[in-house]
Amino acid sequence: MSEIITVKNLSKSYGSHQVLKDISFSFEGDQIIGLLGPNGSGKTSLIKILVGLIHDYSGEVLIDGKKPCPETKAMVAYLPEKTYLADWMRCIDAVDYMADFYKDFDREKALKMMHTFQLPAKQKVKTMSKGMQEKLQLLLVMCRNAKLYMLDEPLGGVDPAARQFILDTIMRNHPAGSTVMLSTHLIYDVEDIFNSVLMIGKGKVLVKTETNKIRAAGRTVEDLFKEVYGSVWEVD
């Protein structure tokens, strides 16, 4: 199977602060990858580089063998931490917007999910609660039949019920053969869905392994996380 994500000697700095220091790794497709690390470990920067939002880095990044470009953007469904929809948009406008730009966007499925999620088609995004906006963005991402899903902290700051809802939505809607990379610093409840994990911290790759190897050693991802991050975990 070909590599869906390839990173070679990647470094990224913000001024004098280096968040990623010469990291290299790769992942094959058709799996769910947990991108783990405490807050400020460089998870968001790494994802922003992979989706083509950050360009001023050194090293090489390939998505399905290609450098980030419009072609790779067409195959990546990205869910950022922030609300990215414009104020003028209503629910239906957001759906039409995605249908306009992404050939793999399933508009019929989106309309059904809007109904299931109880999102009124004509309600403006700016009048929605934060929870509704997050549901809408999740819907827009998961209604794509993308090759790679990059989900940046989709579970951050939500209650346990919402967390389960988000996980269910991701698990039910990502197409067979696709790859999901989900970043989180909250491992509890989530670790069972991962096939592989990438733990980063202090700008380095600390662990890259398959979860069945962790389990075969009689441990959990959470145990490994605590061991790797030590005191940082307690702060979180």
Partner 1 sequence: MFGKLIKNEFKSNLHTLGMIYISAVVLAGFMALAYIFKINWISALATALLMASAGIAIVVTFLLVIVNFQKSLYGNQGYLSFTLPVTSGQLLASKVVVAFCWMLLSFVFAGIVFVGVYLYASAMVGDDVRAALSMLKLFSDAIPDKKVVVGAIILLIVYVFTWLLFLIAELFFAITLSNTRAMQKLGGFSIIIMFFVVFVVTTIVSTLLTKNVPLSLVISPTSIDLATGVSMNMEAENLIPVGITGLLFKIPAGALLFIVTTILMNTKVNIK
Q: Which is nearer to partner 1, 147 or 201 (CB)?
A: 147
Q: DSSP E strands: which ranges in 15-141?
A: 17-28, 32-36, 58-63, 76-79
- Say whether residue 62 binds partner 1 (CB under 8 A): no
CA atoms within 13 A on the CB side of 108: 0
- Say whether residue 80 binds partner 1 (CB under 8 A): yes
Tell the smallest beta-carbon distance from residue 66 to partner 1 (Å).
12
- Say whether residue 52 binds partner 1 (CB under 8 A): yes
Q: Which is nearer to partner 1, 70 or 218 (CB)?
A: 70
Map the footprint of partner 1 across residues 81-110, applying CB under 8 A: 82-86, 88, 93, 97, 100-102
Q: Which is nearer to partner 1, 89 or 206 (CB)?
A: 89
Which residue of 16, 17, 55, 235 would you call a contact of partner 1, by CB under 8 A?
A: 55
Q: Which two tokens stand for residue 35?
A: 């991108």
- Say whether residue 53 binds partner 1 (CB under 8 A): yes
Q: DSSP E strands: which ranges in the chain?
A: 3-14, 17-28, 32-36, 58-63, 76-79, 148-152, 179-184, 196-201, 204-210
Q: Tally the residues of the chain.
A: 236
- What is the distance of C-alpha 153 from the center of its chain? 7
Which residue of 16, 17, 70, 122 would you call a contact of partner 1, by CB under 8 A?
A: 70
- Say whether residue 121 binds partner 1 (CB under 8 A): no
Q: Tokens 């790494």 belong to which residue?
A: 46
Tell the smallest beta-carbon distance from residue 79 to partner 1 (Å).
9
> Any residues with CB less than 8 A from the CB of 130 and at least 6 apart, and which?
83
- Say whether residue 218 binds partner 1 (CB under 8 A): no
Tell the smallest beta-carbon distance from residue 223 to partner 1 (Å).
34
Map the footprint of partner 1 across residues 1-40, applying CB under 8 A: 14-15
Which residue of 56, 108, 159, 234 would you call a contact of partner 1, by CB under 8 A?
A: 56
Q: How many residues bind partner 1 (CB under 8 A)?
A: 27
User: Cβ(221)–Cβ(34) under 8 Å?
Assistant: yes
C-alpha distance from residue 172 to each of 181, 191, 204 (Å): 15, 17, 32
Beta bridge partners of 34: 182, 197
Residues that bind partner 1 in the complex, under the rule CB under 8 A: 14-15, 48, 51-56, 70-71, 73-74, 76, 78, 80, 82-86, 88, 93, 97, 100-102
